[in-house]
Amino acid sequence: MLQGIIGRKLGMTQIYRDNGEAEAVTAVEAGPCTVIQVKTAAKEGYNAVQLGFGEAKRLKSPQRGHLKELGQFRYLREFRVDDAEAVEVGDRVDVSLFKEGDLIDVTGVSKGKGFAG
- Residues 58/74, Cβ–Cβ less than 8 Å: no
Distance CA 7, CA 109 (A): 11
Predicted local confidence at residue 17, as pLDDT: 93
Question: Can you tell me whether residue 75 is helix, strand or coil?
Answer: strand
Whether residue 42 lies inside any domain: the answer is yes
Predicted local confidence at residue 117, as pLDDT: 61
Q: What is the CATH number of the domain that holds 92?
A: 3.30.160.810
- Residues 73/58, Cβ–Cβ less than 8 Å: no
Domain tally for the chain? 1
pTM: 0.75
Q: Report DSSP letters for 8-42, one per residue.
A: EEEEEEEEE-TTS-EEEEEEEEE--EEEEEEE-TT
Whether residue 114 lies inside any domain: the answer is no
Whether residue 55 lies inside any domain: the answer is yes
Local confidence pLDDT in tens for the 117 residues of the chain? 677 888 888 999 999 999 999 999 999 888 788 888 888 888 888 989 988 888 888 888 888 887 778 888 888 888 888 887 888 888 888 888 888 888 888 888 888 888 886
Whether residue 73 lies inside any domain: the answer is yes
Distance CA 16, CA 51 (A): 35
What's the domain range around 27?
A: 7-98
CA distances from 12 to 19, 37, 61, 102 (A): 21, 33, 36, 21
Predicted local confidence at residue 19, as pLDDT: 94
Whether residue 111 lies inside any domain: the answer is no
